[in-house]
């Protein structure tokens, strides 16, 4: 191929490649979440990455709709890439209702796509691990989802982290109490503005609220003041909020939120997990109807959430006459991976496995015999794919972080032995009987 015909290798902005070590850690995170979810009774499902555009649009809000990748397929149908796993799950439940046993607990791990502005640790293609319970509206269901997510993060996050809990019904009540003159649609616009509080700060959020017809400066200031007021424990100060919402349904939701936080604190009091009530948490997606949460790694300021979600009681009714309450949350697999990279904790220098070096062609058949027996014993093992200088084979094994190198050649074939070198210590043993070596090395599995 001529230089003029050669295509420059490049990725689309907001997408990334995963080198072997990154991909391995990513897979480890996914496997850990999946295993713990199944232990807790969550059942695996999967859904297509492409849905009819009408399935997705209008569920997350106008800002999310702008980020949805959509196109006309070969059948001249308007379709779109999923922007999360929750909306397709609601469609899945409606379509497969008769096949499911409710309450239904599900785990799903997969990629989603949003055409948002790429940022550090935030990509246009990203992997999420979702845990959901659908078919029941209860405090226990909320705690079960949040507890299972926290259990995973206790294992996966190296330091302490904080799960901040808000509530859409309480927040909606506060908006109505502080900004009673908002026009139709003004409450949703206020929620979207509040969702930007951590990113752009109070003055900018106040300006956004005042652009909404019917909003008054005094009311906007009062709303922001009560949302950011804190008690001695660092929680949103609920006393002035209870006064504002006296006699409204939101008052009962405050009690439920307090009980939820109390249970989570009791369950995780001896761990590095922190739980905090923060009613300024709004979550930008439009389908939330109750408790909402965001989780951040302590000390990683400005990085953003690694896990989020909430209750969505009305989402399934978009696709069905069935009224099914739901609650769920996501662990951002790629967000967590990016956080570990930023903390300098993503590099795995652990040596593992065995590499078989070939001292000449006469060792090839014997080497493959040993390779098969090692793998049958559950040991990670590889073999040189071509003969060459042993020094170069050892350098390759060292770069690949193998734990041991077994050398086989004519002498080893004749005596049914191997030479074993520990790459970490540099110690080497020659002429070790293979039966003895296999018994020893099988313990590595």
The answer to whether position 12 is within a domain reads no
The verdict on 309 and 364 lying in the same domain is no
Last residue of a domain, one of 319, 342, 365: 342
The answer to whether position 9 is within a domain reads no
Count of Cβ atoms closer than 10 Å to residue 243 Cβ: 10
Q: How far apart are the first and last CA of the chain?
A: 46
Strand-pairing partners, residue 295, are 163, 307
The answer to whether position 2 is within a domain reads no
Write out the chain's pLDDT in tens, 445 residues: 566 788 999 999 999 999 999 999 999 999 999 999 999 999 999 999 999 999 999 887 777 899 999 999 999 999 999 999 999 999 999 999 999 999 999 999 999 999 988 887 889 999 999 999 999 999 999 999 999 999 999 999 999 999 999 999 999 999 999 999 999 888 888 988 888 888 888 999 999 999 999 999 999 999 999 999 999 999 999 999 999 999 888 999 999 999 999 999 999 999 999 999 999 998 877 789 999 999 999 999 889 999 999 999 999 999 999 889 999 999 999 999 999 999 988 888 889 999 999 999 999 999 999 999 999 999 999 999 988 899 999 999 999 999 999 999 999 999 999 999 999 999 999 999 999 999 999 998 7
**Which pLDDT score is estimated for 62?**
78
Count of Cβ atoms closer than 10 Å to residue 141 Cβ: 21
Q: In what order do the strands lie in the sheet with 417-422?
A: 381-383, 354-359, 404-409, 417-422, 428-433
CB-CB contact of 81 with 49 (8 Å): yes
State the CATH number of the domain containing residue 385: 3.40.50.800
CB-CB contact of 324 with 89 (8 Å): no
Task: Give whole-number Cα distances, 86 to 116, 118, 292, 428, in Å.
Answer: 18, 22, 14, 55
Could you identify the residue written with the tokens 């996914």? 30
**Which pLDDT score is estimated for 249?**
87
Q: What is the pTM of this model?
A: 0.90
The verdict on 199 and 101 lying in the same domain is yes
Sequence-ordered alpha helix ranges (H) in 195-249: 197-200, 202-210, 217-228, 238-244
CB burial readout 396-425, b (16+ within 10 A) else e: bbeeebbbbbbbbbeebbeeebbbbbebee
Report residue 83 as tokens: 């922007």
State the CATH number of the domain containing residue 306: 3.30.930.10
DSSP string, 344-376: T--------SEEEEEESGGGHHHHHHHHHHHHH
The verdict on 25 and 93 lying in the same domain is yes
Domain range for 424? 354-444
DSSP-assigned letter for residue 331: E
For residues 25 and 347, give the distance between their C-alpha atoms in angstroms, rounded to a whole number. 9
Nearest to residue 142, comparing CAs of 160, 111, 172, 168?
A: 168
Q: Is 70 helix (H, G, I), strand (E, B) or coil?
A: strand
Last residue of a domain, one of 285, 311, 342: 342
The verdict on 323 and 213 lying in the same domain is yes
For residues 303 and 105, give the distance between their C-alpha atoms in angstroms, rounded to a whole number. 30
Give rounded-to-5 percent helix, strand, coil for the chain: 40, 20, 35
Task: Give whole-number Cα distances, 14 to 41, 122, 285, 441, in Å.
Answer: 35, 8, 21, 44
Q: Which residues touch 55 (CB under 8 Å, ≥6 apart)?
A: 80, 87, 88, 91, 319
For residues 341 and 343, give the distance between their C-alpha atoms in angstroms, rounded to a whole number. 5
The verdict on 240 and 374 lying in the same domain is no
CB burial readout 290-302, b (16+ within 10 A) else e: bbbbbbbbeebee
Secondary structure in 3-state letters for 424-441: CCCCEEEEEEHHHHHHHH
User: Pairing relation of β-strands 404-409 and 354-359?
Assistant: parallel
Count of Cβ atoms closer than 10 Å to residue 284 Cβ: 16
Domain count, the chain: 2
The verdict on 304 and 390 lying in the same domain is no
CB-CB contact of 91 with 51 (8 Å): yes
The verdict on 209 and 322 lying in the same domain is yes
Q: Which residues touch 196 (CB under 8 Å, ≥6 apart)?
A: 204, 205, 208
For residues 121 and 155, give the distance between their C-alpha atoms in angstroms, rounded to a whole number. 20
Length of the chain: 445
Last residue of a domain, one of 308, 342, 376: 342
Report residue 67 as tokens: 């980020």
The verdict on 196 and 248 lying in the same domain is yes
**Which pLDDT score is estimated for 188?**
86
Report residue 340 as tokens: 């570990």
The answer to whether position 11 is within a domain reads no
């Amino acid at each position: 191929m001529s230089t003029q015909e050669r295509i420059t290798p490049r990725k689309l902005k907001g997408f990334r490649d995963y080198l072997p070590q990154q991909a391995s850690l990513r897979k480890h995170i996914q496997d850990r979440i999946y295993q713990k979810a199944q232990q807790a009774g969550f059942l695996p499902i999967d859904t297509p990455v492409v849905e009819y555009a009408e399935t997705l649009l209008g569920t997350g809000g106008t800002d999310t709709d702008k980020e949805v990748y959509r196109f006309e397929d070969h059948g001249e149908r308007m379709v779109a890439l999923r922007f999360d796993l929750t909306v397709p799950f609601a469609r899945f439940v409606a379509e497969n209702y008769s096949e499911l046993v409710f309450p239904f607990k599900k785990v799903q791990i997969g990629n989603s796509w949003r055409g948002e502005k790429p940022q550090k640790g935030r990509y246009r293609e990203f992997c999420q691990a979702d845990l959901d319970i659908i078919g029941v509206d209860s405090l226990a269901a909320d705690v079960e989802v949040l507890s299972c997510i926290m259990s995973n993060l206790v294992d996966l996050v190296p330091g302490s982290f904080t799960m901040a809990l808000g509530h859409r019904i309480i927040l909606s009540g506060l908006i109505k109490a502080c900004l009673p003159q908002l026009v139709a649609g003004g409450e949703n616009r206020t929620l979207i503005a509040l969702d930007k509080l951590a990113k752009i700060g109070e003055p900018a959020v106040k300006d956004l609220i005042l652009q909404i017809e019917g909003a008054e400066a005094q009311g906007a200031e009062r709303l922001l003041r009560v949302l950011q007021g804190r008690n001695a424990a660092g929680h949103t100060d609920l006393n002035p909020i209870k006064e504002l919402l006296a006699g409204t349904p939101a008052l009962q939701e405050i009690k439920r939120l307090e009980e939820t936080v109390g249970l989570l604190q009791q369950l995780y009091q001896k761990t590095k997990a922190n739980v905090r009530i923060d009613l300024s948490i709004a979550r930008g997606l439009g389908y939330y109807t109750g408790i909402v949460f965001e989780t951040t790694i302590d000390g990683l300021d400005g990085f953003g959430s690694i896990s989020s979600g909430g209750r969505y009681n009305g989402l399934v009714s978009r696709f069905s006459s069935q009224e099914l309450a739901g609650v769920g949350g996501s662990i951002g697999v790629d967000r967590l991976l990016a956080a570990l990279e930023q903390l300098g904790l993503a590099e795995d220098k652990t040596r593992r496995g065995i590499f078989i070096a070939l001292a000449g062609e006469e060792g090839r058949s014997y080497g493959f015999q040993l390779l098969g027996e090692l793998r049958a014993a559950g040991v990670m093992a590889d073999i040189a794919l071509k003969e060459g200088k042993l020094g170069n084979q050892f350098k390759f094994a060292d770069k690949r972080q193998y734990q041991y190198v077994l050398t086989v050649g004519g002498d080893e074939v004749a005596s049914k032995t191997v030479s074993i070198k520990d790459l970490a210590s540099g110690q080497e043993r020659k002429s070790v009987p293979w039966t003895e070596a296999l018994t020893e090395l099988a313990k590595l599995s």
